[in-house]
Structures are given as structure tokens and as C-alpha cells.
Amino acid sequence: MPTPSRYWREIPQRYRLEAGKCRKCGTISFPPRLVCPQCAAREFEPAKLADRGKILTYTIIRVAPHQFEDQTPYAVGIVELDDGVKLTAQVVDCDFADLNIGMRVKIEFRKIYEEGQAGVIYYGYKFVPE
């Protein structure tokens, strides 16, 4: 069982969607990085992601890894946020039949999974219909 450190380290991203904006070319990296993927520059300023966007593609997971077994079936999508950043997360509070490419969604704070009855509870972002 991993210690909570890997989860805790990403909290600014998981809870507050903190990203990094390249000072040279303006590309927003989420999560923040040391090297800009676009122009290889190394200086960034803090940025927060937009909290809504549209679905680019999605699927419904019916066979899941063990931590998510109880949740199947669940929808996961790649969303293009209104600031151009593409984000991967579950899409909830939506009937599967209503899911479609182009659908507008917004971010909500939800539980991602728990480590059994006694372990840590992992939180993060998911998408809900706008």
C-alpha cells in the first residue's frame, strides 16, 4: 500500500487545479513542469485552469482496476477547457445516453476512491454537466 505522499504532493493540482504558464510562449502546463513542452523554456508563472469546457472524447469503463471495481460502470472523458488545456477525468451526474462529443461540462470536487474501509480517502476533480 503506498504512503499518502504521492497523493498529497499533487494536492494543489487535484484540489485547486494549479497549473504553470510558460513566461516565454504562454503555454499552460497541467500539471506544472520544469520544462515547457512547447518551447523548452524553464520559467513559469502560476496559473489556474478554467473550470469548464467541452468533451472531446469519452468512454464508459466497464472493467476497472481494483481500486475502482465498485464504481463500474463509470464514464471518463477528455475535456478541452475554455482556456485550451485538455484535461482527463470522470464524467458524472449524467446518464450515459446523454454523453456526447461537444457536450459542455464543468468541474466539481469529488471523491476519486478510497483505500478500503480503513485507508486514506482520495479526492480530486470530476466533470458534471454544465
Partner 1 sequence: MVGIIGYGAYIPRNRIKVEEIAKVWGADAPSYKKGLMLEEKSVPSPDQDTITMAVEASKNALKRAGIDPREIGAVYVGSESHPYAVKPSGTVLAEALGATPEVHTADLEFACKAGTEGMFVALNLVQAGAVKYGLAVGADTSQGAPGDALEYSAAAGAAAFLFGKDDIVAETLETYSYTTDTPDFWRREYQYYPQHGGRFTGEPAYFKHITGAARGIMAKVKKKPSDFDYVIFHQPNGKFPFRVGEILGFEKKQIEPGWLVSKLGNTYSGSSPLGLTATLDISKPGDMILIVSYGSGAGSDAFIFRTTKRIDEVRDLAPRTRYLLDKNKNYLEYGVYAKYRRKIRKAE
Partner 2 sequence: MRDVAVVGVGMTKWGELWEKSLRTIFVEAALLALEDAGLDRIEAMYVGCMSSGLFVGQEHLASLLSDYLGKNPVPTVRVESACSSGGLALRQGFIDVASGMSDVVLVGGVEKMTDVTGCEATYALGTAADQEYEGYHGLTFPGLYAMMAKAHMAKYGTTREQLAMVAVKNHENGSKNPLAQFPFKITVEAVLNSVLVADPLRILDCSPITDGAAAVILCPADMAKKMKKPAVKIAGSGQATDTIALSSRKDMTWIESTHLAAEKALSMAGRKIEDIDFFEVHDCFTIAEICVTEALGLVGKGRGGKAVEEGLTSLSGKFPVNPSGGLKAKGHPVGATGVAQAVEVVKQLRGEAGARQVKAASLGLTQNMGGTGGSSVVHIFEAM
HSE toward the beta carbon, residue 33, CA cutoff 13 A: 13
Distance CA 16, CA 39 (A): 26
Question: Residue length, the chain?
Answer: 130
Question: What number of chain residues touch partner 2 (CB under 8 A)?
Answer: 37
Is 38 a residue that touches partner 2 (CB under 8 A)? no
The interface mask with partner 1, positions 71-90, x = CB under 8 A, is x------------------x
Contact 64, 71 (CB under 8 A): yes
Q: What is the SS3 assignment for 7?
A: helix
Q: Choose among partner 1, partner 2, none what residue 60 binds, the Cβ cut-off being 5 to 8 Å by kind.
A: partner 2
Contacting positions for partner 1 (CB under 8 A) = 11, 15-16, 70-71, 90, 92-93, 95, 108-112, 121, 123, 126, 129
